[in-house]
Amino acid sequence: MNKRLCVILTVVFIFTFTCSVMAEEPSVGSKIVDLFLVRPISLVGATVSTGAYLVMSVPLAIMGGAETASTIMVDAPWRFTNQRYLGDFSHYKDNNSIAGCGPCKYGSRE
């Protein structure tokens, strides 16, 4: 019972602090969620995506789409995992916006 209460209070604490909107500095709750939830999941996703790219790299090179695929499948996931400040989900450290938050940076959608 005590363990269940601790987990419930932790979840409530995290989501209470992640609801701060329009803050200059990311809240403590969003930093905690980023550190313990988002970054490990994005690390696994980046690893799987890189592995999938390695499997598909020879056919992609033959078809001429290796550069675009490497940008989307390797660069973007690793950049999201490692090149953001803790708790900041909208910009990278070099102040470029994250690809999912704006227009497509990886070619035109025609």
Within-domain flag for 33: yes
Q: Residue 103 is which amino acid?
A: P
Contacts of 81 (CB under 8 A, 6+ apart): 39, 42, 43, 46
Residue 1 domain-assigned (yes or no): no
pTM of the model: 0.66
47: nearest Cα among 90, 24, 15, 77: 77
How many other CB atoms sit within 10 Å of the CB of residue 42? 19
How many whole angstroms separate alpha carbon 24 and alpha carbon 85? 12
56 part of a folded domain: yes
Domain range enclosing 63? 29-110
For the chain, the distance separating the N- and C-terminal CA atoms, rounded to the nearest angstrom, is 56
Phi, psi values for residue 29, rounded to 5°: -65, -40
Where helices occur in 34-109 by DSSP H, the ranges are: 39-63, 66-70, 76-82
pLDDT tens-digit series, residues 9-38: 566 556 555 544 444 788 899 899 999 999
Q: What's the total number of domains in the chain?
A: 1
pLDDT digits (tens, 9 = 90+) for 56-88: 999 999 999 999 999 999 999 999 999 999 998
Residue 18 lies in a domain: no
